[in-house]
Amino acid sequence: MPPTFLFQPLDPDVEGRIWHQFTNVPFFIFGPLMMFLMHPYAQRRSRYIYIVWVLFMVIGLFSMYFHMTLSFLGQLLDEIAILWFLGSAYGIWMPRCYFPSFLGGNRSQFICLVFITTAVSTFLSFLRPTVNAYALNSIGLHVLYIVCQEYRKTSNKELRHLIEVCVVLWAGALTSWISDRLHCSFWQRIHFFYLHSIWHVLISITFPYGMVTMALVDASYEMPGETLKVRYWPRDRWPVGLPYVEIQGDDKNC
């Protein structure tokens, strides 16, 4: 007869932590997959793009570590990984017209500025952990502002669709995270421990959509001689897929 403990239900807190760890798996799947799918684009635009996807996987690794240990160090590493991921994407894809005027549109100087700011924020986060939240929110709000500005300016249906999907996914992820933080006791009373897991899944999908969105915005400024086509893995015709860009060389100017 099998041991009776095999049929005993898991402690709800343990079950929730298991789900939180399991829902980090998409980071380890989407990261290498996006590196492969975006390889031709990265070769043409910038090989630093590979760093962005490596950091994307690091987010999943540190998030898994945090939910395994529930330690302050784990939480800090998780937030710092997100900060460097956003900072890297920010430096690569931010359109020059949104650079501070004193940089004169120089991307190298802008990347140095982003690197220094991110490094200082990382150092300060060890002294005052709340600094990370302000840094992440500042980058997120600025990116949202730029996306809204570009949405108003563009007539590109693919770009508008990507922005719409990205905003919906981000809103769903943020709602799950806020609800989990603010109403934790309520969800525990009704034995629903999956909101944070939903946040993991939605944000792991939102990031690829966001990166492809920024790649399209960036192309209109940095790659005027190229046409970027949005494709979806595994099939373009499927209602749900992972977006990536394919370069189609022509003489059309954006």
223-250 pLDDT, tens per residue? 888 888 999 999 888 878 899 999 886 4
Model confidence at 252, pLDDT cuts 50, 70, 90, reads very low
pLDDT tens by residue, 54-86: 999 999 999 999 988 888 899 899 989 999 999
Look up the pTM and report it: 0.85
67 annotated ligand binder: yes
Q: Which CATH class is domain 14-247?
A: mainly alpha
Taking the CA atoms of the chain, what radius of gyration do you get in angstroms?
20
Rounded (5°) CA angle 224-226-229: 120
Count other Cβ atoms within 10 Å, centred on residue 7: 7
20 annotated ligand binder: no
77, 174, 216, 36 alpha-carbon torsion, rounded to 10°: 50
Question: What ranges in 23-129 are assigned the alpha helix state H?
Answer: 25-37, 39-45, 49-69, 72-93, 107-127
* Domain ranges (residues) in the chain: 14-247
200 annotated ligand binder: yes
| Phi and psi angles of residue 229, each rounded to the nearest 5 degrees, phi first | -105, 130
CA distances from 22 to 32, 74, 175 (A): 18, 16, 20
Strand duo 226-233 + 242-249: pairing: antiparallel
3 state SS of 192: coil
